[in-house]
Structure 1
């Protein structure tokens, strides 16, 4: 055996533990989920699992609750990630640029503190804040505007909670991107008579476009699978008014024991996430042309 062959074998051996871990904790569960989506596996204690082909997916096509959950998931992703976290994170990063260290540290610390709060704790905090007898209604009662926000506007409630908790990530991404924008370009644009809005639209945003697309991809995928915050605040209710696809998957799998049907929905959600990723990756490649 040559020295080169021995070296390649040694390098391959170094990767074996990592490959085993990926197989056990990533590829294994993924393959099991794909298999389960085509079976009638259920959490009923039965040891009999039958292959049912596309039956779960045909059921999905005629399941109005599933389509409603997909629509609510889209509303949640667009409202809390694409519009909420992305826009607010960029706005905070722009407002903090050029400010004093004390102001940047205080504002960034407050925003990041919300991000560090565990999802379940954040859900309970917002539940108590928006509850019919919560803090917000205590304040609004004085002007006659109190109501049961978790009942009348459940999707708005969970969107606001997710924006509050997740904006810090977008802010940090944009702070790093804005630091890489050469100040000379802004100075030259200002000399040419460009307003602040024109400098933002024609100088800043084009230069940080890759960061915008990357941030959108990451927060979209994260929000697409959001579960804990919504479950703690509304459990998908009232009725199914805030039952996004992850919530509906949980209900079908662990409350009605239809694990095969739940994993089929998970597979559809995985495909939707892959489609979003491909769109964002395509946007990044177009930027490189």
Structure 2
């Protein structure tokens, strides 16, 4: 009480009128409906169908049955599934972690001290690959690596026999193509984070006699650790779902040498028409993505 007046309690000040709560619910309702229809609903259906014999042809197509863990038992006994898991790990590690994230950080770091014109020109060249549709990128790389493509033309100038790149080095080919296309995203993310680091901090370290390497490892990287973790998660999850690029360039072949989990899932669901089995594979893909995200957060000690 002050000057004979009773002050309202803090709890009463924070309490919102019922009409405000109803307005908030009303404006958020369309977003929740869209989220339910296009995200939560399909996830629930995927989980349910993974325990069924859902198929597009045959007796299973007319008689949907709950078969428990039969799809998962069949999956873990399938040698092609184990090969596709290994292919996925190789593709994600070299394409996302060592490729896009490392190269994106390196480009952003090297461009940090350059003038605006240079940064814009290089940035536009790199971003051009990112904004190009994935199927177009795939056909460009098929043409580049074909028997009469640019890669073999360069080898011819060096008197080296042409190489059937997509048959001799199929995994390396799709990894390089995906790095070429996706590095721009990591570059932009890291460029924004590096620009936010106060120059005074690094200048003080230089005055104290710190080497360039120590500044990068002890100051720069720790200050963008959260951005590194976020970018790793986003790029890893995006790379886990890459399908068009691989399927257009190699079709998962030769044999199953580039058949990652999305390609294997597609073949089982829409080539063999076993949708129940395909949805079970998609659940495994979802679990792998969740585990990778947890590992990144645990390793880099990022709080969510």
Q: What is the rounded CA distance, in whole Å, between the counterparts of 2:299 and 2:76 in structure 1?
A: 31
- Aligned match of 1:178: 194
Larger radius of gyration: 2
| TM-score normalized with structure 2 length | 0.90
- Report if aligned partners of 2:229, 2:302 keep a CA contact under 8 Å in 1: no
- Aligned match of 2:44: 31
Q: 2:129 aligns with which of 114, 131, 149?
A: 114
Task: Give the deviation of 1:75 after TM superposition.
Answer: 0.4
Greater shift after overlay, 150-159 or 98-107? 98-107
Matched, 1:60 2:75: yes
User: Where does 1:133-212 land on structure 2 (aligned, <5 Å)?
Assistant: 133-142=148-157, 143-212=159-228
- Report if aligned partners of 2:50, 2:279 keep a CA contact under 8 Å in 1: yes
Q: 1:73 aligns with which of 88, 99, 111?
A: 88
Q: 1:253 aligns with which of 269, 272, 278?
A: 269
- Aligned match of 2:110: 95
Aligned residues: 286
Which SS does the other structure have where 2:53 is aligned? coil
- Aligned match of 1:222: 238
Q: What is the rounded CA distance, in whole Å, between the counterparts of 1:8 and 1:99 in structure 2?
A: 50
Q: What is the rounded CA distance, in whole Å, between the counterparts of 1:161 and 1:112 in structure 2?
A: 14
Greater shift after overlay, 112-121 or 200-209? 200-209
CA RMSD of aligned residues (A): 1.7
Task: Give the deviation of 1:8 after TM superposition.
Answer: 2.6
Q: What is the rounded CA distance, in whole Å, between the counterparts of 1:187 and 1:274 in structure 2?
A: 39
- Report if aligned partners of 2:51, 2:280 keep a CA contact under 8 Å in 1: yes
Matched, 1:8 2:24: no
Q: What is the rounded CA distance, in whole Å, between the counterparts of 1:183 and 1:165 in structure 2?
A: 31
Is there any run of 5+ residues in structure 2 with no aligned partner, and where?
1-15
Instruction: Label 1:194 to 1:4 Cα distance change in 2 as closer, same or farther (>3 A).
Output: closer
Q: What is the rounded CA distance, in whole Å, between the counterparts of 1:236 and 1:27 in structure 2?
A: 30
Greater shift after overlay, 107-116 or 273-282? 273-282
Is there any run of 5+ residues in structure 1 with no aligned partner, and where?
none
- Report if aligned partners of 2:268, 2:277 keep a CA contact under 8 Å in 1: yes
Q: What is the rounded CA distance, in whole Å, between the counterparts of 1:199 and 1:8 in structure 2?
A: 49
Greater shift after overlay, 40-49 or 59-68? 40-49
- Report if aligned partners of 2:92, 2:236 keep a CA contact under 8 Å in 1: yes
Q: What is the rounded CA distance, in whole Å, between the counterparts of 1:16 and 1:100 in structure 2?
A: 47
Q: What is the rounded CA distance, in whole Å, between the counterparts of 2:238 and 2:18 in structure 1?
A: 43
